[in-house]
Amino acid sequence: MAMAEHLSYTYVIVGGGIAGVTCAETLAILRTGPTDRILLLTESTLVKAVTNVVPLGKILNRFDVEEKSTEQLSSASNIDVLLDQLARIESDHHQVRTAAGRYIKYRYLCLCTGARPNIIDKANGNANVIGIRDTESVEEFRKRIHTATRLVVVGNGGIASELVYEVGGMEKIHWVIKDPYISSTFVDSGAATFFRERLNEKDSTERKKTVYKRMRYTENGDGAGENSTTGVTKRGAALGPDWHRAFDIQKPGETPPTGEKVTVHYSVEVDDIKETTSGLEVRLTDGTTIGCDFVVSATGVVPAASWIGGCDQPFKLGPDGGLFVGWSMETSVSDIYAAGDVCYAGWEQAPHWFQMRLWTQARQMGAMAARSMAAKRAREEIYQDFCFEMFNHVTTLFGYQVVLLGRYNGQGLNDRYEVLLRMTPGLEYIKFVLVDGRLQGALLVGETGLEETCENLILNQLDLSPYGEELLDPDIDIEDYFD
């Protein structure tokens, strides 16, 4: 019997998603000792790296997420990458065991294992109900639309919204949502109406999209190589912003559908799914029955906070099942940190910040975990990064740039707030959330140019009550006024 392989590293990061790669790359920059070694343990030969970062304010950044091969990441950042899967954590001995039987000693460990799709419970393991979460699941979706004509999408978040808008060639798309309006994860009913018009009006000329002109990598199907793991189900990293632009999700030879081919079923859930001779029959809670070829479940994620062999010390978990972390991103187990979707933000949060499992926060948490581990290694004192002072996120929905700042939907304000709105159909939707004349959050749809102004007004808490409704008067340039 061959002896198990033993490795030793200063920092071991588990997970090749945005949080894990950001953590590893940040550590490579902060690394102080010449003997400090960094290992990224990932289940996929492709990892997600942040690129093309464009600052839109002090905190707010727009960025792309690029797939890199592990070889490219390793050579560019002097990071060792191992293709394997975490099996067990032995914290008393500061080591982990992998699925391939390797033992890896660590000084500091960071868990960035992400989350897994929360497939609707009515699926009951049906192969024709798929989740959309990572590159591999999108490839599965692409294969299926080649032969499908009828699609049901369940969910009301970013991926569901983008999927319904971008997919082409279907005879009929049914969008099943439990809320009274679309895209409720990010926007209010007013912005949903704004988006609904875009969904109705979309045509082949308006929706001709620009596909990324950048190199894309694919995994070898045979998984050959000494670092491969056999007999283990791999989990890919989460999709990044504008993921649909990196994939052609049009049916070959077909024109994109018009909005009339998208039927939205409001305030309902899936009651039952049955196999039929022609595909699937989906029954909704209002009694409606829909025939389709397959179902896409995009109903959120569950933290992937469990491993084959667990940990010798139990982790403190948050109410959502995530690993409980303090502001330094350290878990309840000494020298073990966590970042991204796998963790639960357990610290006392700033008034305008809250946790949401998004690419933006995965990047911020990964960098914060790296800073904390490097500071502990150097016995230095650090403070929490300023980005955690205010919730901030940039995404794209229905072809529009969407910027979310602070309590943009009045979250946690107990309905004791007022709202200022400005909408130009087909161009922009601006919403300010104010309490006692002070800006608490903002939702900006379209190219508004107000990102930095809103950031400053939320952080500075300037009293805006003297300006009243004129604050959003289109004839007044508030960007210059508050500069």
447 vs 56, 280, 358, 453, CA distance in Å? 11, 41, 21, 14
pTM (2 d.p.): 0.85
- Say what the pLDDT of residue 49 is: 87
252 vs 64, 168, 203, CA distance in Å? 26, 9, 17
- Say what the pLDDT of residue 223 is: 42
- The count of other CB atoms within 10 Å of the CB of residue 408 is 27
Distance from C-alpha of 273 to C-alpha of 291, rounded to nearest angstrom:
10
- Say what the pLDDT of residue 282 is: 94
Distance from C-alpha of 372 to C-alpha of 11, rounded to nearest angstrom:
12
Domain residue spans of the chain: 6-114+304-388, 118-202+235-300, 399-481
17 vs 236, 237, 346, 378, CA distance in Å? 8, 5, 22, 26
Distance from C-alpha of 387 to C-alpha of 257, rounded to nearest angstrom:
40
According to CATH, what is the number of the domain 399-481?
3.30.390.30
441 contacts 356 by C-beta, under 8 angstroms:
no
Q: What angle do CA 166, 170, 175 make, to 5 degrees?
A: 65
428 vs 364, 410, 417, 419, 425, CA distance in Å? 28, 20, 22, 16, 7
Whether 6-114+304-388 shares its CATH topology with 118-202+235-300 is answered yes
Nearest-10 Cα torsion for 73, 77, 82, 88: -120
Nearest by Cα to 282 from 66, 122, 478 = 122
- Say what the pLDDT of residue 441 is: 96
- Say what the pLDDT of residue 225 is: 41
Burial state string for 429-447 with b = 16 or more CB within 10 A and e = fewer than 16: bbbbbbeeeebbbbbbbbe
Distance from C-alpha of 439 to C-alpha of 39, rounded to nearest angstrom:
43
- Say what the pLDDT of residue 10 is: 96
Distance from C-alpha of 173 to C-alpha of 323, rounded to nearest angstrom:
37
- Say what the pLDDT of residue 301 is: 86
Digits of tens for pLDDT over the chain (483 positions)?
455 689 999 999 999 999 999 999 999 999 877 789 999 999 988 888 888 888 988 899 988 888 888 888 888 778 999 999 999 999 999 999 999 999 999 999 999 999 888 888 878 788 889 888 666 677 778 888 888 889 999 999 888 888 888 887 788 899 999 999 999 888 888 899 888 888 766 544 444 444 444 444 455 554 444 444 444 455 555 555 554 555 545 555 555 444 458 899 999 999 999 998 888 999 999 999 999 999 999 888 889 988 888 899 999 999 999 999 999 999 999 999 999 999 999 999 999 999 999 989 999 999 999 999 999 999 999 999 999 999 999 998 888 999 999 999 999 898 889 999 999 988 999 999 999 999 999 999 999 989 999 999 999 999 998 888 888 887 777 766 665
* β-strands 294-297, 129-131 pairing: parallel
Report domain 6-114+304-388's class. Answer: alpha beta
The CATH fold of domain 118-202+235-300 = FAD/NAD(P)-binding domain (3.50.50)
